[in-house]
Chain A
Amino acid sequence: MIKNLQSDPEELPEEIEERPDALLEEVPEEEGPPDAELVLKAQQGDVQAFDVLVDRYHGRIYGLTYNMCSNREDAEDLTQEVFVKAFSALPRFKGKSSFYTWLYRIAVNKTINYRKKRNRKRTLSLDSFDQEIKSDEAYHDLTSKGSPLRNISLSELQIKLNEALQSLSEKHRTVVVMHDMQGIPHEEIAKVVGASVGTVRSRLFYARRQMQSELAEFVK
């Protein structure tokens, strides 16, 4: 089983297969007109409607691509490519799945293909921490006097975490990023990656174990 999990993902098609799902229909609760209405308008050539969709999902798609690559320049390029691809493929979108799921699927496929093409050129380029971090409980725990990590700077830990993330296979990283960083439930991840919920859970378990072993040197 582990052997299967470690194998490289197959080349993903650029064409996005639409899979029906009901779960994601009610996920994004946004202000303004519903996605379906905006998608219909955008399909009829209304660029303004697509602009609203870009505004709505830009942050999440950037978050996904950024955490998948740990490189903000690549993430920006990928986010751009994802939305342009989505716009050009919009006439073929039948609404069997929600726009949100469909867009995520494009983003995951694009990111994996992009990284495979640029396999040797992988450098970290990280966004800086927001000032709000100082009021977070986890931050206090890590930097308090009693913590074994108090002598390690946060940026050092940040780099180590991103390196650990990049050491995972594409499939495992996708699941970790979507679940642990973006808070997407297992069922929805399963719809996006086209696997069963059980597979998603096992990938998550394996990925966490691998990352823990990467971070163990800080604890010992």
Chain B
Amino acid sequence: MMGSKDNLDTTVEQQTELLLKQLMHLKQYEKPETARMTRNKQNIMRMVRQANGSKRKSLGDLLEINMPWLFAEPKYGVALLFVAFVGLQYAGINARHESSTGTGIYAPSTSLVAVNSISTATNSISYPKFPDNVALFPQGNRSSDIKFVGRIEK
């Protein structure tokens, strides 16, 4: 009795195993519509183009794309940084040396003369002569008002 039940279970198990295999196999025939897939691909590429257009590459990304060897071989990257550091240090020393020779603004004397001559030439403005009948500072002791001494024509 028990033996026949076991046999039945084994048969059911084998059958379900076979059924599963067959159904799994047939599932590969579930195929999407070609038009839908084409549309899907187009959507993907549209989104990719949008992303590509709006994407601003960071300095890190640009370095990574244009100088991949720097990231692939870090030792060269470190060496380059060291050389750059030494170069900057050297440039800094030179700049300090030049600045320590003196302070102030220096200009050649010839150019200064030229500047002076130009300024005097431009600053000499000739004013018209003041008329004699107008006394700017009258001699009277009462007030400082300007006194008109001319004649008014009618």
**Chain A residues close to B by CB (< 8 Å):** 43-45, 47, 50-51, 54-55, 58-59, 62, 66-67, 72, 76, 79-80, 83-84, 87-88, 91, 126-130, 132-133, 136, 138-139, 141-142, 148-149, 154, 157-158, 161, 180-181, 208, 211-213, 215-216, 218-220
B37 A80 Cβ-Cβ under 8 A: no
A180 B24 Cβ-Cβ under 8 A: yes
Q: Using A62-B40, A215-B16, A216-B16 as known contacts, say yes or no to A130 and B47 having CB atoms under 8 A apart.
A: no
The majority secondary structure among interface residues of chain B is: helix
Question: Which of A72, A181, A220 makes the CB contact (< 8 A) with B24?
Answer: A181
Closest to A46 in B: B52
Per-residue interface assignment for chain B, residues 35 to 78, with 1 indicating a CB less than 8 Å from any chain A CB and 0 otherwise: 01100110111011101100101000100110000000000000
The majority secondary structure among interface residues of chain A is: helix
28 contacts between A and B (CB under 8 A): A45-B52, A47-B52, A50-B45, A51-B48, A54-B41, A54-B44, A58-B37, A58-B40, A66-B30, A76-B36, A76-B40, A79-B40, A80-B47, A83-B48, A84-B51, A88-B55, A127-B30, A129-B30, A136-B25, A138-B26, A142-B26, A154-B26, A157-B23, A208-B20, A212-B20, A215-B16, A219-B12, A219-B15
Question: Which of B19, B37, B41 makes the CB contact (< 8 A) with A215?
Answer: B19
Question: What are the residues of chain B within 8 A of A45 when measuring CB–CB?
Answer: 52
Question: What are the residues of chain B within 8 A of A138 when measuring CB–CB?
Answer: 21-22, 25-26
Q: Using A47-B45, A50-B48, A58-B37 as known contacts, say yes or no to A129 and B29 having CB atoms under 8 A apart.
A: yes
A62 B37 Cβ-Cβ under 8 A: yes
> Which parts of B93-142 form the interface with A (CB within 8 Å)?
none
A80 B64 Cβ-Cβ under 8 A: no
Question: What are the residues of chain A within 8 A of B22 when measuring CB–CB?
Answer: 138, 141-142
Whole-angstrom CA separation of A30 from B122 in the bound complex: 83
